[in-house]
Amino acid sequence: MDTLPFLIKPIYDYELIRAIDKGLILAQKEDSEKHMKYGFIDENGKVVIPLVYDDVYDYTDFLIRVEKDGLFGCINKKGEEIVPIVYSELIYDNDGFARVKKEEKYGFVNQKGTEVIPPIYDDIRYLSNGIFGACKEKKWGLLDKSGNVIVPFLFDDVGYSFNNGVTYAKKTENTVLLIKKATRSSHSFMTEH
């Protein structure tokens, strides 16, 4: 029987395999303690990234979100740890940032694993263009991508994004202020009543 050129040899050592990138195949295998572990193999079944992770989640062009011992971090496609596996929560955002949670506080890391906003806030959200809404002691303000406060923590809530350069800030039940991003390259804001 002729072998088709696109077939590779069968790999039977793994419970699950799923290709995610050229030369990188997600593999699952039971360890000696009967726990499922995840890692990556190549087309020949050779381990590329050891099967040591409790789970593997999202893949981006650069990073793979992994879980180990109930904590999250990111590795690259060589298996190098980029975002340390120390966070109880890690969720990617569209602009290359990931929201992280550590010791019940929130912050953001970038694709290089740097904590651009340290996890010191009660809540935090990414708005757009390097601007974050952060909550501290039940009051919201805005931060730039370096963690500098650009709108003070005076509000009961802030918007989830900038729509046409504008977001909202709620001061009291009946008062909502609009926060408009200025046209200068520095992140200046002004409020309109």
Q: Quick check: 134 pLDDT over 70?
A: yes
Q: Is the pTM of this model over 0.85?
A: no
Every domain of the chain and the residues it spans = 9-53, 56-121, 136-193
Tokens 């200046």 sit at which residue? Answer: 188
Going by pLDDT thresholds of 50, 70 and 90, the confidence category of residue 119 is: very high
Q: Quick check: 97 pLDDT over 70?
A: yes
176 vs 113, which has greater pLDDT?
113
**The pLDDT value given to residue 12:** 57
Angstrom distance (rounded) from CA 84 to CA 166:
35
**The pLDDT value given to residue 2:** 54
Residue 25 CB neighbours (<10 A): 22
Long-range contacts of 147-151 (CB under 8 A, 24+ apart): 147/116, 147/117, 147/118, 150/187, 150/188, 150/189, 151/179, 151/189
Q: Quick check: 184 pLDDT over 50?
A: no
For 59, half-sphere exposure in the C-beta direction (CA atoms, 13 angstrom radius) is 13
pLDDT, mean over the chain: 83
Going by pLDDT thresholds of 50, 70 and 90, the confidence category of residue 10 is: low
Residue type, 16: L
Going by pLDDT thresholds of 50, 70 and 90, the confidence category of residue 175 is: low
Given a contact cutoff of 8 angstroms between Cβ atoms, the answer to whether 182 and 189 are in contact is yes
Rounded mean pLDDT, 111-125:
95
Q: Which residues contact 38 (CB under 8 A, 6 or more apart)?
A: 26, 27, 28, 51, 53, 54, 55, 56, 66
Tokens 């039971």 sit at which residue? Answer: 30
- The percentage of residues in the chain with a pLDDT greater than 90, rounded to a whole number, is 44
Just give the CATH number of 56-121: 2.40.10
Angstrom distance (rounded) from CA 25 to CA 47:
9
